[in-house]
Amino acid sequence: MHVMMLGLSHASAPVEVRERVAFSGQALAMGLSMMVSRPAILEGAILSTCNRTELYAVVSSPEEGRSALRAFILEERDLPAEIFDQFFYFLEGDAAIRHLFRVSGGLESQILGEGQILSQVKDAHAAGQLHRTMGAVLDSLFRFAVTAGKRGRAETEISRGAVSVSSAAIELAKDTLGGFDGKAILILGTGKMGELAAKQLPSYNLSKIYVANRTLESAERLAERVGGEAVPFHAMQDALERVDMVVCSTGAPHYVLTPSEMEHVIASRNGKPLLMVDVSVPRNIDPAVGAMPGITLFDVDDLQWVANKNRTERQAVAQEVEAILDSEFKGYKTWLKNFRMTPTISSFRNKAQDLREQELNRFWDRNAPAFTPEQRQLIDSMTQALVNKFLHQPLTSLKGMNTLQQHHHASALQTLFDLKVEDFQEHYLRRQGERRTMPLV
């Protein structure tokens, strides 16, 4: 049983590669199902954002796991082998675990300390639970990672100020335009990215804020919150003719603005320049639009200069976050060590419980009439408390030992108490099978 991660990110691959690998919506659900259908993959989770797609897995062996994850991503995303070899990375064991903690803490983000990644880690955890592709190992790993991310933000200043891809997009636009005074902007898309971008705008001296979305009601809600005007998606061409800049993130898996759709807009603008920032992955604005006259088009990879500036300013705080992540990493490693003791601990508990019930049943066979139901309940509770007291110290000591000590004392417990202990691998696989076949509530 080994923890493994396969993925790519903004640090290893450009946006035109990342958008080919991204999972969302039904593709995510299908991907999770197909991922764990491979015999070597015992548990699976997919973290997919604008800047990374990473597969986290518990595998039967490192060699089989590598092969299974590679085959899955190549087949599921229809990728040529040369793309995989050039842009993907594998991490195993402690390296994979530490990486997820750093991702959750915002230390692997393009914008150091950005807050949205923590929500995305939570979403990946929830998806794995919903589709039952997670077992105890990944479930606990993601719980510890989320706690680490929360602590990093609560106990340091890593997330102070505006820290997100959206805020970087606004900063890039402001710098390119030389300020926002008297400018008009169109926010295209009201998802998380669009909402984060729009929230920053009321503090600037903009002449107009337009909000467009396929669902007009969503556009109206966001426009009302930022003092803007909602625009029907099918009628946004009028807004495109008036604005100075566009920030686009619709969540659509395809281009929503192409050269053919922009030709009339450009003609109507009479040479007035238009800045467009597309922070979507997959991209929502055809890159060919950027070559049209008067158009300046940035995508998410063009935010790197903002990211570099942010990283320099926050580097000292990042070291404080590292210490918090290390603490939570040690906590997870302790949990993982003790998880391997589950069959021994369960057998020891069951042995003590069986003995209690046997002796209590013998006692009731001889003496039940002499006690009221209330008294019987008190005696039952007292014997259960005695068993719990008896088990507490040895089990606490066992969990506090290192791996070698645990193995030695677990063997002693099995011999001294004649415990029938299930092999850990068999126990783990059996529990995995029970979890996957359990009916949905």
Count CB neighbours of 167 within 10 A: 21
Higher model confidence: residue 429 or residue 112? 112
Return d(Cα 143, Cα 186) in angstroms, integer.
Answer: 38
Whether 141 has a pLDDT exceeding 90, the answer reads yes
Q: Percentage of the chain surpassing pLDDT 90?
A: 63
Per the CB < 8 A criterion, the answer to whether 34 and 65 are in contact is: no
CA distances to 61, 140, 157, 279, 428 from 339, in Å: 18, 10, 34, 41, 10
Confidence of residue 406 (pLDDT cuts 50, 70, 90): confident
Whether 302 has a pLDDT exceeding 50, the answer reads yes
Give me 312's structure tokens.
């320099």
Return d(Cα 369, Cα 23) in angstroms, integer.
Answer: 66
CA 88 distance to own-chain centroid: 18
Is 248 a catalytic site residue? Answer: no
Whether 129 has a pLDDT exceeding 90, the answer reads yes
Instruction: Give me the mean pLDDT over the 261-271 stretch.
Output: 92
Which residue's structure tokens are 């797609």? Answer: 53
Mean pLDDT of the chain: 90
Task: Report pLDDT for 368.
Answer: 85
Higher model confidence: residue 89 or residue 249? 89
Per residue in 34-57, pLDDT (tens digit) is 999 999 999 999 999 989 999 999
Which residue's structure tokens are 């490192």? Answer: 62
Task: Report pLDDT for 434.
Answer: 67
Whether 299 has a pLDDT exceeding 80, the answer reads yes
Per the CB < 8 A criterion, the answer to whether 11 and 308 are in contact is: no
Sort 222 into a burial class: Cβ within 10 Å, 0-12 / 13-18 / 19+: buried
CA distances to 148, 173, 184, 224, 357 from 206, in Å: 38, 13, 6, 15, 75
Which residues fall within 8 angstroms of residue 19, CB to CB, at 6 or more apart? 281, 282, 283
Q: Percentage of the chain surpassing pLDDT 70?
A: 96
**Identity at 216, one-letter amino acid code:** L
Task: Report pLDDT for 437.
Answer: 60
Instruction: Give me the mean pLDDT over the 118-147 stretch.
Output: 95
Per residue in 374-394, pLDDT (tens digit) is 999 999 999 999 999 998 888
Instruction: Pick the catalytic residue from 50, 100, 165, 211.
Output: 50
CA distances to 280, 341, 391 from 400, in Å: 47, 12, 14
Per the CB < 8 A criterion, the answer to whether 170 and 200 are in contact is: yes
Which residues fall within 8 angstroms of residue 409, CB to CB, at 6 or more apart? 397, 398, 401
Instruction: Give me the mean pLDDT over the 295-306 stretch.
Output: 88
Instruction: Give me the mean pLDDT over the 59-87 stretch.
Output: 95
